[in-house]
Amino acid sequence: MDHFNYRNGELFAEDVPVAEIAAQVGTPFYCYSTATLERHFRLFDEALEGMPHLVCYAMKAASNQAILKTLSALGAGMDVVSGGEYARAISAGVPGEKIVFSGIGKTRDEMRIALAGGIRQFNVESEPEMVALNDVAVEMGKVAPITVRVNPDVDAKTHAKIATGKSENKFGIPISRAREVYAEAATMPGLQVIGIDVHIGSQLTELEPFRLAYQKVAELTETLRADGHDIQRLDLGGGLGIPYTRSNEAPPLPTEYGSLIKETLGHLGCEIEIEPGRLVAGNAGIMVSEVIYVKSGEGRNFLILDGAMNDLIRPAMYDAHHDIIPVIEPTAGAEQTPYDIVGPVCESGDTFAKQRMMPPVKAGDLLVFRSAGAYGAVMSSEYNTRPLIPEVLVHEHQFAVIRQRPTFDEMINRDTIPEWL
Ligand code: LLP
């Protein structure tokens, strides 16, 4: 459920007409709903009720500080994967004790920043990383709390580019080697082992892969405890999928996911962390774009938009489907025509949808990409020297621009010309 609905024939974001935002901000732009963000966060928080837990929003999904503040005010922690994300979370007021640091390539500088500013835990992904973190911590006179990310060799049954829990993926250490690696960690004075971490992939639409992975983590917890390690915390990653179409069978709900966690891991008495990104932000955001031209081709018609692949890369990169709807509600029974919906960027990959059935559309109409809140704005670029598009946050009847569209000068003036030119 989200808060983008038709009222009196036009699309609203909460209590604000989307056309009104477009008139003030210009297109294309991203628009997020506070109520939807809050609702989705609470679903996870409530699903884990009864167990000590922290929901650490995977801010890679949508990292604007206004979004982080909205979630942090509800008690969210953050999952960060770079020094930049760490700095953003701190700048948004998230306390270091609520930040977990994931990622396979943390640099020593990033480790220093997080150790100096405060960190809940590092999710360590390899032995060389463990050695580096120990060195940095010892050098700073600190002890770094760690979990080790294990790779459970489970098929997440999702798109290959976003599956992470198979042995051929670059993530984590093989679960079969966990005892050895934990034994080594225990000898390092700069590290304190506090738990286990696992994340098997993104956009999972079944619970079974989670079950298989979490059962393996439960077994490992008991083995490691028997080896003398103090396993107090389990970080279970993110990955629960969202419905991208209204017709699709719905993926499992956070409550069902929460029950699965209780069932597989509840007996261990551990504190549970989860790192959802997409489910919190995905359906809390839309991208709004204007139709520039309607072009008739041979045997097919094109809707050419002012938004492009640099603004929303998911269709080009993962063949992802986003529902595309007009801001003005189509009349019931309106005739549907197939269109290829494309952006102005100079490559054929700049295609959002092929042969998509659409109600009557003309130049100047506003179209909305639904489910664009996660991995939308954060993955945008300035390809073709197109400015990054604004982000807007709606809260009931108010809205605010939370990231401005840069001017051409602001964009161009970041270049510096060497003196020999
Ligand atoms: N934790 C870790 C360690 C992760 O690598 C990820 C996502 C998450 C949590 C959050 O997963 P989520 O709940 O959002 O599924 N750009 C791709 C998705 C990449 C996901 C990367 N890791 C897309 O647009 O589909």
Q: Domain for residue 60, yes or no?
A: no
Q: Judge if 241 and 288 occupy the same domain.
A: no
Q: Which of 226, 253, 274 is the last residue of a domain?
A: 274
pLDDT tens digits, one per residue of 322-361? 999 999 999 999 999 999 999 999 999 999 999 999 999 9
Q: Judge if 264 and 286 occupy the same domain.
A: no
Q: Domain for residue 367, yes or no?
A: yes
pLDDT tens digits, one per residue of 288-301? 999 999 999 888 99
Q: Establish whether 275 is an annotated binding residue.
A: yes
Q: Domain for residue 83, yes or no?
A: no
pLDDT tens digits, one per residue of 101-137? 999 999 999 999 999 999 999 999 999 999 999 999 9
Q: Which of 274, 291, 306 is the last residue of a domain?
A: 274
Q: Judge if 263 and 290 occupy the same domain.
A: no
Q: Establish whether 318 is an annotated binding residue.
A: yes
Q: How far is the CA of 149 from the centre of ligand 1 (A)?
A: 15
What CATH number is attached to the domain comprising 12?
2.40.37.10
Q: How far is the CA of 367 from the centre of ligand 1 (A)?
A: 27
Q: Judge if 146 and 213 occupy the same domain.
A: yes
The answer on pLDDT for 246 being more than 90 is no
Q: Domain for residue 208, yes or no?
A: yes
Q: Which of 274, 306, 324 is the last residue of a domain?
A: 274
Terminal C-alpha separation, the chain: 56
Q: Judge if 309 and 333 occupy the same domain.
A: yes
Q: Judge if 363 and 216 occupy the same domain.
A: no
Task: Give the long-range contacts of residues 329-338, CB within 8 A, separation 24 or more.
Answer: 329/6, 329/9, 329/10, 329/11, 330/359, 330/360, 331/359, 334/359, 334/360, 335/359, 335/360, 337/301, 338/300, 338/301
Answer yes or no: is the C-beta of 242 below 6 A from any ligand 1 atom. no
Number of domains present in the structure of the chain: 2
Q: How far is the CA of 56 from the centre of ligand 1 (A)?
A: 13
Q: Judge if 268 and 289 occupy the same domain.
A: no
Answer yes or no: is the C-beta of 149 below 6 A from any ligand 1 atom. no
Q: What does pLDDT average to over the chain?
A: 97
Answer yes or no: is the C-beta of 278 below 6 A from any ligand 1 atom. yes
Residue predicted with more confidence, 245 or 263:
263
Domain that holds residue 119: 103-274
Q: Domain for residue 64, yes or no?
A: no
Are 1 and 253 in contact, with CB atoms under 8 Å apart?
no
Contacts (Cβ under 8 Å, ≥6 apart) of 46: 254, 255, 258
Question: What is the pLDDT, as a whole number, of residue 294?
Answer: 98
Q: Domain for residue 49, yes or no?
A: no
Confidence of residue 249 (pLDDT cuts 50, 70, 90): low
Instruction: Calculate what percentage of the chain has a pLDDT beyond 90.
Output: 94
Q: Domain for residue 421, yes or no?
A: no
Q: How far is the CA of 85 from the centre of ligand 1 (A)?
A: 14
Q: Domain for residue 25, yes or no?
A: yes
Q: What is the mean pLDDT of residues 27-33?
A: 98
Q: Establish whether 375 is an annotated binding residue.
A: yes
Question: What is the pLDDT, as a whole number, of residue 248?
Answer: 62
Residue predicted with more confidence, 185 or 161:
185
C-alpha neighbours within 13 Å on the C-beta side of residue 283: 20
Atom of ligand 1 nearest to the CA of 202: 15
Q: Judge if 139 and 256 occupy the same domain.
A: yes
Q: Judge if 286 and 333 occupy the same domain.
A: yes
Q: Establish whether 189 is an annotated binding residue.
A: no
ipTM of the shown complex = 0.99
Query: One of 31, 56, 270, 346 is an active-site residue; which one?
Result: 346
What CATH number is attached to the domain comprising 223?
3.20.20.10
Question: What is the pLDDT, as a whole number, of residue 173?
Answer: 95
Confidence of residue 160 (pLDDT cuts 50, 70, 90): confident
Q: Judge if 164 and 287 occupy the same domain.
A: no
Q: Judge if 175 and 268 occupy the same domain.
A: yes
346 a catalytic residue: yes
